[in-house]
Amino acid sequence: MSESQHCQSFEVRDYECDMQGVVNNAIYQHYLEHSRHEFLKNLGLDFAELTRARINLVVIRAELDYRRSLVSGDRFAVLTRMERISKLRFAFRQQIVRDSDGALILEGLIIGTALNERNRPFLPAEIDAVLC
């Protein structure tokens, strides 16, 4: 298990808000994904390079608890921790926290695996090493 926590800073962009004037539900998944990819990049795993090498990191389950809404101009951080949950699966525990008051906006549990060229679960050595 990786004990380290990654922190990624963001600011809401107006095009991410929908007619309710708040960030659209789906956009939070974009924030979480970008944070995971930056987290992995810091560990030496580049998502784009893996994709070109035909190793596809994939999400198999997402649990998202929406606590509050973000609005135009809000600054926030996505906190990400990663842990192994089985031989071939890993989990990201992610929180979105608003800068202005530390309010918890969203909590997410994202479970993923890696697939090789034949769409078979397959954990490459690089990821395996990171997750030890």
Smaller CB separation from its own copies, 2 or 69: 69
Of the residues 1, 4, 9, 18, which one makes contact with its own copies according to CB under 8 A: 18
- Positions annotated as catalytic residues are 18
Cβ atoms within 10 Å of 82's Cβ, excluding its own: 24
Looking at the DSSP assignment, which residues form a beta bridge with residue 78?
Answer: 8, 96
- Site mask for its own copies (CB under 8 A), range 54-93, x = bound: --x-xxxxxxxxx--x-xxx--------------------
Cα(95)–Cα(52) distance, integer angstroms: 29
Q: Identify which of residues 53 and 129 has a Cβ nearer to its own copies in the complex.
A: 53
Q: For its own copies, give the closer residue by CB, 20 or 100.
A: 20
Q: How many residues bind its own copies (CB under 8 A)?
A: 37
Tokens 């034949």 locate to 118
Q: How far is the CB of 28 from its own copies (least distance, A)?
A: 8
Query: What is the distance between the alpha carbons of residues 66 and 16, in angstroms, rounded to a whole number?
Result: 16
Query: Any contact of residue 33 with its own copies (CB under 8 A)?
Result: yes
What residues make contact with its own copies under the rule CB under 8 A? 13-15, 17-21, 24-27, 29-30, 33-34, 37, 41, 46-48, 51-52, 56, 58-66, 69, 71-73
